[in-house]
Copies of this chain bind each other. A is one copy, B any other.
Amino acid sequence: MSKELSTEEKIREAAKNVFIAKGFDGCTSREIAKAAGMNVALVNYYFCSKKQLFKLVFEAVLEDFMLSTVEVFRKNLSLESKMRIFIEREFEFLTSHPDIPRFILSELSRGDKCEFDHAGILDKIASTGVFEELLEAQEKGVIRKIDLTNIMLLIMSNCHYPFMAKPLMKYLNNLSEEQYQERLMLQKQYVTEMLIGYLFNPKTNS
């Protein structure tokens, strides 16, 4: 389906896959061109340089990643329901794109590669109203009074890491692919229970 991709789009798409799988340093322009079924020179014809192509791809991936699931918070549901659905969708997204968290954190941590535009992302997240809703819930005593950065970190830790740690887990525990996937789906339940249990009903625990 959809063979009607332009040369530029084919290269961008191939670059995304190759960059995510191997990292900026781990692949070559020729590899990207070959994956796109194109001549090497076309990479620079359309994108000037490997670096610039990477910047474009990275920013798109980061935005997709950060915004794809946060839309739940626009819905008219209880905060707890939204949180549950959010975690559910994070696991869904990561099941289709398990390499993205590692890709983003790896590339971001060797940041001298190029300067990334990220100004808009937090604003777009904020536009869903998550932050206000969380702050309000804190004032009402519905959820624990913790800095939003820490809440983000708690949720992201428990959603992203299980996918990032796949090779470590698989071989430390000698797991087959099926066994790992099984633990992953269990992990989703545990993580949801744990996070909801900790963040909500703060009076019972602290």
Report A's interface with B, CB cutoff 8 A. 21-23, 25-26, 66, 99, 102, 104-106, 108-111, 118, 121-122, 146-147, 149-150, 152-154, 156-158, 160-162, 164-169, 171-173, 175, 183, 186-187, 190-191, 193-195, 197-198, 205-206
| CB-based closest 10 A-B pairs | A157-B161, A25-B25, A194-B198, A25-B26, A108-B167, A161-B161, A157-B157, A106-B106, A149-B183, A157-B158
With a cutoff of 8 Å between Cβ atoms, the chain B residues found around residue A190 in the complex are 146, 150, 154, 198
Closest to A168 in B: B108
The answer to whether A156 and B165 touch across the interface, beta carbons within 8 angstroms, is yes
Known: A157-B157, A157-B161. A109 touches B173 (CB 8 A): no
| 10 pairs, A vs B, C-beta closer than 8 Å | A23-B23, A23-B110, A105-B168, A106-B106, A118-B171, A122-B172, A122-B173, A146-B186, A150-B187, A198-B198
A131 to chain B, nearest CB (A): 11
The answer to whether B167 and A153 touch across the interface, beta carbons within 8 angstroms, is no
